[in-house]
Structure 1
Amino acid sequence: MLYVDIPTNPEIRALFEARADACVSIYLPTTPETQNVALSRISFGNLTRTALEQLDAADFDKRRRAALEEKLLALDEDDDFWRLQANSLAVLATPDSLRTYRLATEVTKTVEVSDRFYLKPLMRAMAFPQHAFVLALSENDVRLIEVFADHPATVISLPDLPDSAADATGRASVNNPGTGSGHGNAQGQKSLLLKYLRKVDAALRPVMAGRETPLILAATEPLGPIFRSVNSYTGLLAEGISASPDSMSESALASGARSVLDGYYAAQIEAATALFHERIGSHRAITDLGAVARAATFGAVDLLLVDINEVVPGTVDETDGTVVLATKPGAANYGVIDELTGRTILAGGKVLAVCRADMPDGAAVAAILRSPV
């Protein structure tokens, strides 16, 4: 299975606010196949050396450098850590702390050194993780399946999940509830199904609590609509798999889920792009980097779209948002677009990190503003 630990919204805000004399951000592809993880460890070692060389070039304090190197080397030598990986890894380190996040999405091999972390790849992983759960639901069976981008789907064992509607209700069948209940047959059946589906929802809560992972429902009528009426998980997608899951393998359900996810993510991007073009006429949509920086600094950005692969080294003034570009990355600067992402989130705005082909007008950044400029 994939070992994924994407940061929560409070964590990402704390990471954007973090400042230190040296913040090292390392991103690299990894593999869940333990026997092939050696190449990932070699890559991590090379990226660690690159980060330390940048600090040496900036005459960084030798004692602080040693503390940082000790943490990175300890991670490199931790066999247990490397044994449990996903498709990529983020390592965010300072001389005083080290955090890791294993991601289901793929990332470009990157190392950034600055006084703040480089977090745009994490934003992409949070927005479009290609990671979901499928609830395969019928009267005869119920399964919770975890789906990944390019790894076999896995059935999640839940101790309190009923085996079937009959198991949940203590009836041989929910289709013939009997006449002694005072309800019509159809109403009695619905009452039994509600009892079944409330137990399903309750069994899901411990594993879904605190998550934002999409949940996709695979069910037919009447179970699908009834479950949606009792569902307590806010991540349940409106679109589901409209087929009986009884004869569908985990692989087939995962394939259907990926199709639903693709449509869900595409709809988010399409809606954001359409809103951007709609707001141009009212002077509430901009792509100029300097203008976006000023808007983000003053908390005026409602939605920011950024090119996931674009890195613009430089600095952004803390008070007026003036951008000063650098000729190359180094310990004295940071990613300007990443900084605008952080300022937008800290001011309560939303961010979508997407591919350049999905950016409005092919820009590196595009901002929808709260008020005209």
Structure 2
Amino acid sequence: MEYKDIPTKADIERIAAHREPGCVSIYLPTGTTPPEADRARIELKNHLALAVKSLEALGVDRRRIAAVQAEGEGILEDRDFWRYQSRSLAVFLDGELAETFRLANRLTSACEVADRFYIKPLLRAVTFPQSALILALAQNSVRLIRIDPELPPALIEVEGMPKDVASAVGLTSVSGRSAEGRIQGSEGQKVRMLEYVQAIERALHPLLATSTEPLILAAAEPLIGIFRGATDYPRLVDDVIAGNPEEKTEDELASAARGVLDRLYAAKIAALKEDFSTRIAAGTALADLSDIARAATYGAVETLVFDIDRRVPGTLDDETGTITYADEDSAGNYGVVDEIIRRSLGSKAKVYALRAEDVPGGGAAAAAVRFPV
């Protein structure tokens, strides 16, 4: 089984705002099997040893280094933690906090040491997640299925979920009375389906209340319209898997759902690119990294998009945002784009991690701004 700790926007903003000497950020691929977890544990141990050497080279106080090492060793020794993993692990240590996120995305291994945390890979996990929930809804059955990028679809047991329309009648009454035997014909059937959907929505509520995943509906009318009218889940996707889901296996539903996610994210990227093209022409969006760094420093960035794979070694001036480029990565060199991201998040900007071909202007980043700087 896979265990995930998906960071919220508030988590990312909090981690991005943290600034202390000796911040250690570690990313490594993991897995859900014991051998994969053992390999990841060894890799974390190696990263921790490298981080300690980097902290010593930076002249960080020995007591803080010892505290960072103790935090890391505490994670290494927590065998229950290593039993429950996902595909990647993000670890943040600074001698006063130790925070981990088990992520569904497969991230490359990295160990960064600076006076702030390295957050760019973390944003990849939340920009366009490839995990989702499918609600396969029919009159005679209902299934909740979770899909992830690299795992088979998993059926989720939901406490209190009705089995079909007949079993839901009387569980929720539209007018304080059961519809059974009192409303006849097509009107009665619609009332019974509404009771069914309301019972489903009530059973799902505890799970959806804490979920950050898109919900994809697999159903036919009139259940599609009835469910949309009964739920207020903000991540219910407009696109549906149409037709009777009872005719589709879980693998077939998962395949169709991945197509829905692809279309959803392609539409979002296309809308972003069109909006940025218009705003660049109007002078309210920037493609030059120096201009973006200045805007981020003064809290002017409204929306930031960046190339998830491109690294730009260097630092930003705290007061002006002036970039000092470096030839290569090194301990204490936190990276230009990552610091632009950090400052943009500090002013509540929307931030999107994209592939190179989707970044307007073809650079490392682009930014729509609230006001000129």
Instruction: Identify the residue that residue 150 of structure 1 maps to in structure 2.
Output: 150
Q: How many residues align?
A: 367
Q: Alpha-carbon deviations, 1:211-245, whole Å to 9, x = none?
A: 22100000011101110111121110101211211
Contact residue 285 and residue 369 of structure 2 kept, 8 A: yes
Match for 1:251: what amino acid? D
Contact residue 345 and residue 351 of structure 2 kept, 8 A: yes
Q: Alpha-carbon deviations, 1:92-141, whole Å to 9, x = none?
A: 11111110001111112111111111111111101122111111100001
Taking the aligned partners of 1:73 and 1:180, their CA distance within structure 2 comes to 65
Q: Is 2:162 the partner of 1:162?
A: yes
Instruction: Identify the residue that residue 282 of structure 2 maps to in structure 1.
Output: 282
CA 1:21–1:179: 2 relative to 1, 3 Å: closer
Of all paired residues, the percent bearing the same amino acid is: 43
Name the SS of the counterpart of 1:239 in structure 2: strand
Instruction: Identify the residue that residue 174 of structure 1 maps to in structure 2.
Output: none
Instruction: Identify the residue that residue 237 of structure 2 maps to in structure 1.
Output: 237
Instruction: Identify the residue that residue 196 of structure 2 maps to in structure 1.
Output: 196
Match for 1:200: what amino acid? I
Contact residue 27 and residue 88 of structure 1 kept, 8 A: yes
Q: Is 2:216 the partner of 1:212?
A: no
Contact residue 305 and residue 366 of structure 2 kept, 8 A: yes
Taking the aligned partners of 2:237 and 2:6, their CA distance within structure 1 comes to 19
Point out the more displaced range, 231-240 or 250-259: 250-259
Contact residue 179 and residue 192 of structure 2 kept, 8 A: no
Taking the aligned partners of 1:292 and 1:129, their CA distance within structure 2 comes to 26
Contact residue 180 and residue 192 of structure 2 kept, 8 A: no
Contact residue 179 and residue 191 of structure 2 kept, 8 A: no
Name the SS of the counterpart of 1:69 in structure 2: helix
Name the SS of the counterpart of 1:22 in structure 2: strand
Normalized against structure 1, the TM-score is what? Answer: 0.93
Taking the aligned partners of 2:305 and 2:245, their CA distance within structure 1 comes to 37
Instruction: Identify the residue that residue 51 of structure 1 maps to in structure 2.
Output: 51
C-alpha RMSD over aligned residues? 1.9
Q: Which stretches in structure 2 are left out of the alignment for 5+ residues? A: 172-177
Deviation at 1:357, TM superposition (A): 2.3
Instruction: Identify the residue that residue 328 of structure 1 maps to in structure 2.
Output: 328
Taking the aligned partners of 1:195 and 1:233, their CA distance within structure 2 comes to 18
Contact residue 31 and residue 85 of structure 2 kept, 8 A: yes
Match for 1:169: what amino acid? V
Name the SS of the counterpart of 2:224 in structure 1: helix
Point out the more displaced range, 302-311 or 243-252: 243-252
Instruction: Identify the residue that residue 138 of structure 2 maps to in structure 1.
Output: 138
Q: Alpha-carbon deviations, 1:311-358, whole Å to 9, x = none?
A: 223222232222222333334331221121122222121011011122
Name the SS of the counterpart of 2:352 in structure 1: strand
Instruction: Identify the residue that residue 123 of structure 2 maps to in structure 1.
Output: 123
Instruction: Identify the residue that residue 297 of structure 2 maps to in structure 1.
Output: 297
Aligned counterparts, 1:1-373, within 5 A: 1-169=1-169, 181=182, 185-371=185-371
Deviation at 1:205, TM superposition (A): 0.8
Match for 1:6: what amino acid? I
Name the SS of the counterpart of 2:140 in structure 1: coil
Q: Alpha-carbon deviations, 1:188-217, whole Å to 9, x = none?
A: 222111111111111111011132210000
CA 1:198–1:333: 2 relative to 1, 3 Å: same
Contact residue 284 and residue 370 of structure 2 kept, 8 A: yes
Taking the aligned partners of 1:59 and 1:178, their CA distance within structure 2 comes to 74
Taking the aligned partners of 1:55 and 1:22, their CA distance within structure 2 comes to 6
Contact residue 5 and residue 103 of structure 1 kept, 8 A: yes
Point out the more displaced range, 33-42 or 2-11: 33-42
Q: Alpha-carbon deviations, 1:5-43, whole Å to 9, x = none?
A: 111122111111111121100011111122332222222
Deviation at 1:164, TM superposition (A): 0.8
Deviation at 1:254, TM superposition (A): 1.3
Contact residue 112 and residue 118 of structure 1 kept, 8 A: yes
Taking the aligned partners of 2:205 and 2:346, their CA distance within structure 1 comes to 29
Taking the aligned partners of 2:21 and 2:36, their CA distance within structure 1 comes to 35
Point out the more displaced range, 323-332 or 102-111: 323-332
Name the SS of the counterpart of 1:143 in structure 2: strand
Point out the more displaced range, 199-208 or 342-351: 342-351
Name the SS of the counterpart of 1:275 in structure 2: helix
Q: Alpha-carbon deviations, 1:232-289, whole Å to 9, x = none?
A: 2111010121121113222221111111111111111111111111112211121111
Contact residue 24 and residue 113 of structure 1 kept, 8 A: yes
Contact residue 54 and residue 330 of structure 1 kept, 8 A: no
Taking the aligned partners of 2:117 and 2:95, their CA distance within structure 1 comes to 13
